[in-house]
Amino acid sequence: MEASNSKKIATCLPLVCAIIITNLCVSPSSKAQQDPLYSQYMFNMLAINPAYSGINNNLNISINSRFQWGGLEGSPKTNTLTANSGFFANKIGLGAIVLRDELGVNQNTEFHLAYSYKISSPDFALSFGLQTGIINYRYNYSELRLKYLDDPDFVPVKESATKVNFGFGIAYKREDFFAGLSIPRILNRNFDDGVSISTRYERHIYATAAFLLKFKPGLQLKPMVLVKGVQGAPVSFDLHASVIINNLMWAGIFTRDLNSYGLMVQLEIKHYKIGYSFELPNKDFAGTNLLTHEIMLSLDLEALPDHIVMMRFF
């Protein structure tokens, strides 16, 4: 009965997510900081959902580096290190996230700890997660090259503030299905520089769903969708599809709002995964020759007696 009810919850999750996001994202426009973008989030959801910690019953360590619009000075760069593990017969999950995000003179550094409690059976896992951490916002205006150095209304200074934030999430996983809903940073954050108060961060809401379709031995298809909502901005959709060949090579295509397109490839050798992706804006956007590159390294380990490392798709 418990497994049946959990499957019903999972079936409803995408619809519930869409309704929540639609209602929370209708608001006046905002100029607050956006969360970092990823194209290979599907291999480590901990960066956006604390309920993912420990969900695979092993120790996972992942590194992700994203270089957006390569060749453009001051373009976004994001480096993320995550680690998560199951504890106490894999009922409890603990995780850590270290993130460095750069855009122009803006540098954000984040450190978060995640906790999850999991209800599971041999067929499914239903995980509830909490997250807390700090975010340091830094703006070094002295790095700007100003046309007029004697402008009395502009004094290059360093702005810096460290804020605490909290998050939560829920995730449901079977061998052939994954769904999640999360708000990794709940609190909107303002910054007072002594002259004015400005909003530096607005909460983001994420909904994810993925399926595994088996065609024949050695050939599988994994479609996935991520819906992101943030106050004052249109709802964003990421669509992704990967072909998995002999449980060794992944090859995929993806799009973000039909405004950018990309290709992804991943090799899986024993407990190691290495992935690469690149994106290109469509022809309607300026700078269509500016490629975005992303590299991912991941390792699964049996660090505790209750851990198990096996082929996983989510």
pLDDT of residue 26: 39
Label residue 269 exposed, middle or buried (CB < 10 Å: 0-12, 13-18, 19+): exposed
pLDDT at 195: 56
User: What secondary structure letter does DSSP report for 202?
Assistant: -
CA dihedral of 42, 47, 48, 52, whole degrees rounded to 10: 70
For tokens 């906790």, the residue is: 115
Residues forming a β-bridge with 161: 137
- The answer for residues whose C-beta is within 8 angstroms of residue 31's C-beta and 6 or more apart is 198, 199, 232
> How many Å apart are CA 131 and CA 206, to the nearest integer?
15
- Identify the three-state secondary structure at position 292: strand
d(CA 99, CA 293): 17
> In the chain, what's the furthest Cα-to-Cα distance?
73
Strands 158-174 vs 197-201: parallel, antiparallel or unpaired: unpaired
pLDDT at 196: 60
Q: What is the pLDDT of residue 70?
A: 75
- Look up the pTM and report it: 0.84
pLDDT of residue 282: 73
Structural contact between residues 99 and 77, judged by C-beta atoms closer than 8 angstroms:
no
What was the pLDDT predicted at 225? 96
Q: In the numeric block, which tokens belong to residue 302?
A: 């049996």
Beta bridge partners of residue 280, listed in sequence order: 261
**Residue 113 pLDDT:** 98
Mean pLDDT per 10-residue section of the chain, whose length is 314 residues = 46 44 40 73 88 96 90 84 96 97 88 97 94 90 66 64 94 96 91 65 93 91 95 90 93 92 92 92 65 93 93 88
Domain boundaries, the chain: 2-301
What are 158's two structure tokens?
């360093």
Render the burial of 84-108: b for 16+ CB within 10 Å, e for the rest: bbbbeebeebebbbebbbbbebbbb
129 residue type, one letter: G
Q: What is the CA radius of gyration of the chain?
A: 20
CATH 2.40.160.40 corresponds to the domain 2-301: yes
Interstrand relation of 106-120 and 260-269 (parallel, antiparallel or unpaired) = unpaired
- Tokens in use for 135? 């975010």
Residues 6 or more apart whose CB falls under 8 angstroms from that of 100 comprise: 78, 79, 80, 107, 108, 109, 110
H-helix segments, the chain: 2-24
Distance CA 314, CA 312 (A): 6
Lookup: tokens for 125: 């896992």
